[in-house]
Copies of this chain bind each other. A is one copy, B any other.
Amino acid sequence: MALPTGFLAGGVACGIKSDPTTPDLALFASDRPATSAGVFTTNRVVGAPVKVSRERIGRTGARAVLINSGNSNACTGERGIKDALWMTAEVAARLGCVPQDVLICSTGVIGRFLPTDRIATGIGPVVDSLVATEVGFLAAARAMMTTDTVPKQASQTVSLGGRPVTIAGACKGAAMIAPNMATMLGVLMTDVRLAPRDAQSLLAAAVEDTFNSISVDQHQSTSDTVLLLANGASGVELTGESRETFQGALTDVCRELATHIIRDAEGASHFVTIDVVGCRDRCEARRMARSVADSPLVKTAIAGNDPNWGRIVSAAGYAGVPFEERECSLSINDIEVYRSGAPTDFQENAVSAAMRTGEVRLTLTFTHGSAAARFWTCDLTAEYVRLNADYTT
């Protein structure tokens, strides 16, 4: 994996999780001040780290992002804020910067105070573990995981005016994943030089069609955060043309990370791509795509490789978008099952066999216009229920 110049990462286990050997403390750092940008959950209830980090983005002195898994430090009142501030101060002291230059994210169970005694034993080691290698980035990506089964990373190098710029990122997902916000924890690092306002607008645009276009279970987390650090180590600044190239690459990296989340969603056995096309505007297309993505009945049918297409059409029907049935058609893995308001004479077995591959493409086509939206989701399985029926106790 290509790494942006001047970034280091590392991860350690410090006992926040019940198994003391499972990594739970990650650190990403820049060897020089970086411009930071961030998008955060729009939940009214937000974790203490979100409150701390959103005050600290939009500056040019960012040096690090500290992430712990196993405890989200959310719904923990004043004590939670105090704990988050303390963690960033501990890291800052070791990196030789001020606490304001350290961003923080936490993920895991909601409503428990952080085990600060154990975290205290991990701060030194995680700073000492920082290296500018793939091994270090992988260790950090692992230490961010909760019920994720695989670490999630992506990177891309693009040439801007003949000079290489790299974007690398890591994220974690698994559950409590829903769109209309930054939907999980993600850190993006690039060695391009960016002003804070540019960094924020590039990040916001990339997130919209990627992290904000996925849903595992429609439950918006209290910790959702995507951060971007741009340290300028490549010496490259964006111009009008190269800005477009960079935006495309940043969006590609975000899309790869977002689809990693869906592929590793809790209990999921199918990766589902929903395209809604032929709409009046993108907002209407998105609303219908999301309604389909969030329906437990659609998701359970997919789990069973059941081409129960009436559930898909009816989920679009309650999305609040006006349409007549004859203006709507539906394909499942390119097999048309519903055309202009009436069922086609399709072979159920053929559709079911296509679904059994684990890759499901739903295409809802309307006759209203040319706007479209794409959304990614997964199926709903008994394994998801098992995983979530017994998470804290």
* Nearest B residue to A339, CB-CB: B77
- Distance in angstroms between the alpha carbons of A220 and B297 in the assembled complex: 10
Interface centre among A74, A307, A310, A311 (most CB of B within 10 A): A310
**Given A318-B44, A341-B75, A393-B348: A385 in contact with B222 (beta carbons within 8 A):** no
* Nearest B residue to A51, CB-CB: B325
A79 → chain B closest CB, angstroms: 7
Q: Is there an interface contact between B219 and A315, defined as CB atoms closer than 8 Å?
A: yes
Over the window 65-84 of chain A, the binary record of Cβ atoms lying under 8 Å from chain B Cβ atoms (1 yes, 0 no) is 00000001011111100000
**Contact partners of A392 in chain B: CB under 8 A:** 301, 306-308, 348
**Given A45-B316, A176-B297, A318-B42: A110 in contact with B388 (beta carbons within 8 A):** no
Q: Is there an interface contact between B385 and A219, defined as CB atoms closer than 8 Å?
A: no
**Contact partners of A77 in chain B: CB under 8 A:** 325-326, 341-343
A-side interface size class:
35 or more
**Contact partners of A76 in chain B: CB under 8 A:** 342-343
Q: Is there an interface contact between B217 and A304, defined as CB atoms closer than 8 Å?
A: no
- Distance in angstroms between the alpha carbons of A78 and B325 in the assembled complex: 11
Over the window 293-306 of chain A, the binary record of Cβ atoms lying under 8 Å from chain B Cβ atoms (1 yes, 0 no) is 01111101101111
Binding stretch for chain B, among A120-128, A129-137, A225-233, A376-384: A376-384
Choose from B300, B382, B390 the contact partner of A304 (Cβ within 8 Å).
B390
Q: Is there an interface contact between B308 and A391, defined as CB atoms closer than 8 Å?
A: yes
**Contact partners of A221 in chain B: CB under 8 A:** 314
**Contact partners of A296 in chain B: CB under 8 A:** 217-219, 296, 380, 384, 388
* Nearest B residue to A341, CB-CB: B77
A interface majority secondary structure: loop
Q: Is there an interface contact between A310 and B222, defined as CB atoms closer than 8 Å?
A: yes
A290 → chain B closest CB, angstroms: 12
Choose from B110, B318, B393 the contact partner of A310 (Cβ within 8 Å).
B110
Whether, in the assembled complex, A389 has its beta carbon less than 8 Å from a beta carbon of chain B, the answer is yes
**Contact partners of A388 in chain B: CB under 8 A:** 296-297, 300-301, 304
Whether, in the assembled complex, A335 has its beta carbon less than 8 Å from a beta carbon of chain B, the answer is no
A388 → chain B closest CB, angstroms: 4
Q: Is there an interface contact between A306 and B175, defined as CB atoms closer than 8 Å?
A: no
Over the window 39-75 of chain A, the binary record of Cβ atoms lying under 8 Å from chain B Cβ atoms (1 yes, 0 no) is 0011111100000000000000000000000001011
A385 → chain B closest CB, angstroms: 5
Chain A 354-393 interface residues, beta-carbon cutoff 8 Å to B: 380-382, 384-393
* Nearest B residue to A79, CB-CB: B342
Whether, in the assembled complex, A20 has its beta carbon less than 8 Å from a beta carbon of chain B, the answer is no
* Nearest B residue to A181, CB-CB: B318
Over the window 85-121 of chain A, the binary record of Cβ atoms lying under 8 Å from chain B Cβ atoms (1 yes, 0 no) is 0000000000000000000000001111100000000
- Distance in angstroms between the alpha carbons of A382 and B386 in the assembled complex: 7
Interface centre among A110, A305, A323, A385 (most CB of B within 10 A): A385
**Given A219-B315, A386-B382: A75 in contact with B393 (beta carbons within 8 A):** no
* Nearest B residue to A223, CB-CB: B314
Per CB-CB distance, the 10 closest pairs between chain A and chain B, nearest first, are: A110-B310, A304-B389, A45-B317, A77-B342, A300-B388, A382-B382, A220-B318, A111-B310, A43-B317, A44-B317
Given contacts A75-B343, A220-B314, 8 further A-B contacts (CB under 8 A): A45-B314, A45-B328, A109-B308, A110-B308, A219-B297, A348-B392, A348-B393, A352-B393
